C-alpha cells in the first residue's frame, strides 16, 4: 500500500485534513448541541447538549482503543464486514506513518494519525445526530449505554463495509463521498428505531422550541463545519475539495430556499426554523454526492431534499404519529437516502476525471451513462437501512431490559436537566 | 366576583389547564414565579459545590370568576395539580372589587366571562 516511493506526506493536505477534523468536531459540539438545544423545552436543554458532549467523550475513547482498528484494518475478522484488532490502541502506528487511505490524491497523503482523527470525528457526530429522536425523555445512563453499543455493533461494521480497503461495498465502487450511508442514512434510520422504541413524549402540545436563536446559530455552525465534513473527505487540498466545498454550499442554499418557500405558500409565512431545517436537509443530501456531482446536480439535489424532507416532517410524521422529536429521521434519514441515490443518478464524470479514486474516466451516474453505479448505491442504502434499523432496535431492546429507556412520568414532567444532571440552564433570580 | 390565585408545580400546568377547559374556564393568566414552602427548595451541584435552599420554580395561575364558578375551579385546579407530595402548592381566593373589559367598557359580572 505504501511501498511506492513517490507516496509521501503532503503538508498542504495534512493542514486541510486536520482543520477539517476540527471542523467536524465543532459540528458535534457546540453546533449540533445548540441546533437541538434550541428546539427542546428549556427544562431539557442541558440534557440534549450533554448528549452531544457525551458522544465526543465515549466514542473518542472507543475509536482509539479498538474502534478504528475494527473499522479500517485491512485484515479482517469477518471478510468485507469487520476488521480485526491489529491496530487496537493504534498499535504500530506512529506520527511519521503515511495513511494507507487516500481519495483524490494517491501520492500526496496525510499522516495515518490525521486520517484516524478525521474519522474519529465522524464516529463522534453520528450517534449525536440520533439523540434528536430521543430528546426530552431518555434516561441518561440508557443513552450512554446505547451509543457505546451502537458504535460497535452498527457504526463500525457499516464503516468497514462502505469505506475500508476490503469493504463489501467499497470494492463494488460505492460512491459515498462523506457518509450518506455511514453517517446520514445510518443515524436517520437508527433515530426512527429510537423514536418507535421510546414512544411519544407526554403532554406533547406542539412543544414549542424554547430558543430559536440557539437553533439558528447551531444551524449556521453546522453549515460552517460541513465544509470540513464534505470538502475534507477527499483527504487532499485540491480542486476536488474546492468543488465539494461549493457543492455543499449550493445544496444547502437550494434546500433552505425551497423549505422557506414551501412554508410561505403552505403556512403563509417564511419561517426561520424552516430555513434552518431546509439548510440542514440540503447539507445532508450533498454529503455523499459532494465530490461527484456538478453544481447543477448539487442544487437539484438540494431542492429535492428541501421538498421531500418538508413533506416527511410536516405531513408524513404527523400522519403516522411517531415522535421523532427533532426530526433526525425526517431530515438525516430521508435526505441521506436521496443523496446516495442521487449520486448514483447525477455523478458527473467530468468532476472526478483524473483524480485518484476515479482513474482516467471519472465516475458516472445513470444520467451520464454509468450503468452500474446506481445499483451499488441502492444496495448499499438498503443494507444500511436494514443494519441501522434492526441493529438499533435490538440494542434498544437490550438496554430497556437492563436499565430501562425512559425516565419516569414525573421526571419527564419536571425536566431532564434537573432529574438527570441536577443542574438548570437558566436562573430567574440570581 | 372572586379572584382565584393558585401556586402549582410547573410540571402540572398541562393537567390543570385540561381540568379547567373541561369545566369551560378559558380565561386564565399564567406566570412563572420562584418560591418555596416547607420543603425549603432544592439542592443543586455546580462543579462539586452544593447550592442548597435554591428557590423552586412554580407556576402562578390567576383566574377571575363569577361566584358560581369558584367551587368548580377549586376542584379542577386540585384535580390537575395534586400529586400527593410536598410542594403541590396552594390556592388563594380573594373578593374582587371590580372588573372592566377594556375593549367594550363593560363592567362587573358581564365583563368577567
For cell 437490550, what's the residue?
A398
Q: Is residue A4 part of a domain?
A: no
Q: What is the greatest pairwise CA distance in chain A?
A: 67
CB atoms within 10 A of CB B84: 5
Dihedral pair phi/psi, residue B53, rounded to 5°: 70, 20
Domain spans in chain B, listed from the N-terminal domain onward: 1-28+61-71+90-113
Cα distance between residue A240 and residue A230, in whole Å = 10
Q: Provide the residue range defining the domain that includes A268.
A: 10-416
Pick from A204, A410, A419, A430 the residue to mutate for testing the B interface (most B CBs within 10 Å).
Answer: A410
Residue A9, sorted as left (phi over 0), alpha (psi -120 to 50) or beta, turns out to be beta
Q: Is residue A324 part of a domain?
A: yes
Contact B14 A205 (CB under 8 A): yes
pLDDT tens for residues A356-388? 998 788 999 999 999 999 999 999 999 999 999
Q: Is residue A338 part of a domain?
A: yes
Q: Is residue A425 part of a domain?
A: no
Cα distance between residue A285 and residue A72, in whole Å = 25
DSSP string, chain B: -EEEEEEE-GGGHHHHHHHHHHTT----EEEEEEE--TT--EEEEETTEEEEEEPEEEEEEEEEE-GGGHHHHHHHHHHHH--SSTT-EEEEEEE----B-TTT--BTHHHH-
Average pLDDT over residues A67-94: 97
The enclosing H or E element of A109 equals strand A108-109
Q: Is the peptide bond before A174 cis (omega within 30 degrees of 0)?
A: no
How high is the pLDDT of residue A5? 64
CB atoms within 10 A of CB A277: 29
Q: Is residue A42 part of a domain?
A: yes
Mark out chain A residues that contact chain B at CB-CB < 8 A.
Answer: 43, 203, 205, 410, 413-415, 418, 422-424, 428-429
Which of B14, B42, B45 is nearest residue A203 as measured by Cβ atoms?
Answer: B14
For cell 473499522, what's the residue?
A71
Q: Is residue A74 part of a domain?
A: yes
pLDDT tens for residues A30-63? 999 999 999 999 999 999 999 999 999 999 999 9
Cα distance between residue A266 and residue A259, in whole Å = 10
CA atoms within 13 A on the CB side of A38: 18
Give the CATH number, domain containing residue A196.
1.10.3430.10
Tell me which residues of chain B have a pLDDT lower than 70: 39-48, 50-53
pTM of the model: 0.92
Q: How far is A111 from chain B (nearest CA, A)?
A: 38
Cα distance between residue A96 and residue B86, in whole Å = 64
> Total structural domains in chain A?
1
pLDDT tens for residues A143-202? 999 999 999 999 999 999 999 999 999 999 999 999 999 999 999 999 999 999 999 998
Q: Is residue A411 part of a domain?
A: yes
Contact A428 B42 (CB under 8 A): no
ipTM: 0.76
Q: Which residues of B touch A418 (CB under 8 A)?
A: 42, 44
How high is the pLDDT of residue A220? 98
How high is the pLDDT of residue A202? 87
**Residue A294: burial class (beta carbons within 10 Å; 0-12, 13-18, 19+):** middle
Q: Which residues of A touch B88 (CB under 8 A)?
A: none
Average pLDDT over residues A78-97: 96
| Beta-ladder partners of B90 | B7
Cα distance between residue A103 and residue A10, in whole Å = 14
Q: Is residue A423 part of a domain?
A: no
Q: A284 pLDDT band (50/70/90 cuts)?
A: very high
Cα distance between residue A101 and residue A7, in whole Å = 11
Residue A412 scores a pLDDT above 80? yes
Helix (H, G, I), strand (E, B) or coil at A227: helix
Cα distance between residue A8 and residue A28, in whole Å = 31
Cα distance between residue A186 and residue A388, in whole Å = 5
Q: How far is A411 from chain B (nearest CA, A)?
A: 9
Amino acid at each position: 500500500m505504501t511501498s511506492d516511493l513517490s507516496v509521501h506526506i503532503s503538508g498542504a493536505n495534512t493542514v486541510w485534513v486536520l482543520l477539517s477534523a476540527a471542523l467536524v468536531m465543532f459540528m458535534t459540539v457546540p453546533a449540533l448541541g445548540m441546533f437541538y438545544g434550541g428546539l427542546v423545552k428549556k427544562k431539557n436543554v442541558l440534557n440534549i447538549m450533554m448528549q452531544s458532549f457525551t458522544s465526543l467523550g465515549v466514542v473518542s475513547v472507543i475509536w482509539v482503543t479498538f474502534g478504528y482498528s475494527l473499522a479500517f484494518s485491512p485484515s479482517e475478522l469477518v471478510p468485507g464486514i469487520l476488521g480485526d484488532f491489529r491496530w487496537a490502541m493504534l498499535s504500530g502506528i506512529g506520527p511519521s506513518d503515511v495513511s494507507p487511505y487516500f481519495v483524490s490524491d494517491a501520492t500526496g497523503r496525510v499522516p495515518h494519525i490525521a486520517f484516524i482523527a478525521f474519522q474519529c470525528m465522524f464516529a463522534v457526530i453520528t450517534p449525536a445526530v440520533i439523540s434528536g429522536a430521543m430528546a426530552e425523555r431518555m434516561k441518561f445512563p440508557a443513552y450512554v449505554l446505547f451509543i457505546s453499543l451502537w458504535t460497535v455493533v452498527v457504526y463500525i461494521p457499516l464503516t468497514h463495509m462502505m469505506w475500508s480497503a476490503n469493504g463489501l461495498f467499497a470494492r463494488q465502487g460505492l460512491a459515498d463521498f462523506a457518509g450518506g450511508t455511514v453517517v446520514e442514512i445510518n443515524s436517520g434510520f437508527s433515530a426512527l428505531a429510537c423514536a418507535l422504541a421510546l414512544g411519544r413524549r407526554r403532554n406533547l402540545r406542539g412543544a414549542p422550541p424554547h430558543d430559536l436563536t440557539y437553533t439558528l446559530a447551531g444551524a449556521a455552525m453546522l453549515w460552517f463545519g460541513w465544509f470540513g465534513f464534505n470538502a475534507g473527505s477527499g483527504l487532499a487540498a485540491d480542486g476536488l475539495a474546492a468543488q465539494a466545498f461549493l457543492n455543499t454550499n449550493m445544496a444547502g442554499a437550494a434546500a433552505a430556499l425551497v423549505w422557506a418557500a414551501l412554508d410561505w405558500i403552505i403556512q403563509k409565512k417564511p419561517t426561520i426554523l424552516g430555513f434552518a431545517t431546509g439548510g440542514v436537509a440540503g447539507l445532508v443530501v450533498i454529503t455523499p454526492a459532494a465530490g461527484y456531482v456538478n453544481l447543477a446536480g448539487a442544487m437539484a439535489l438540494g431542492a429535492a431534499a428541501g421538498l421531500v424532507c418538508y413533506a416527511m416532517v410536516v405531513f408524513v410524521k404527523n400522519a403516522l404519529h411517531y415522535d421523532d422529536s427533532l426530526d433526525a429521521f425526517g431530515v438525516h434519514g430521508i435526505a441521506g437516502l436521496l443523496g446516495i441515490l442521487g449520486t448514483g443518478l447525477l455523478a458527473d464524470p467530468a468532476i472526478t476525471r483524473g483524480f485518484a479514486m476515479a482513474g482516467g474516466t471519472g465516475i458516472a451516474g445513470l444520467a451520464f451513462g454509468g450503468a452500474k453505479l446506481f445499483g451499488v448505491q441502492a444496495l448499499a442504502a438498503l443494507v444500511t437501512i436494514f443494519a441501522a434499523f434492526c441493529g438499533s432496535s435490538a440494542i434498544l431492546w437490550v438496554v430497556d431490559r437492563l436499565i430501562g429507556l425512559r425516565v419516569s412520568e414525573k421526571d419527564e414532567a419536571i425536566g431532564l436537566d434537573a432529574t438527570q444532571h441536577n443542574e438548570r440552564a437558566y436562573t430567574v433570580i440570581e | 366576583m372572586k379572584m382565584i390565585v393558585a401556586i402549582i408545580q410547573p410540571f402540572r400546568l398541562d393537567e390543570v389547564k385540561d381540568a379547567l377547559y373541561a369545566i369551560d374556564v378559558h380565561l386564565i393568566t399564567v406566570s412563572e414565579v420562584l418560591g418555596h414552602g416547607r420543603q425549603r427548595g432544592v439542592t443543586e451541584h455546580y462543579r462539586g459545590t452544593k447550592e442548597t435552599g435554591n428557590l423552586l420554580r412554580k407556576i402562578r395561575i390567576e383566574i377571575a370568576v363569577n361566584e358560581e364558578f369558584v367551587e368548580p375551579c377549586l376542584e379542577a385546579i386540585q384535580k390537575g395539580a395534586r400529586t400527593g407530595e410536598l410542594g403541590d402548592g396552594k390556592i388563594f381566593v380573594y373578593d374582587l372589587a371590580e372588573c372592566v373589559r377594556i375593549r367594550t367598557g363593560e363592567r362587573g359580572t358581564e365583563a368577567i366571562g
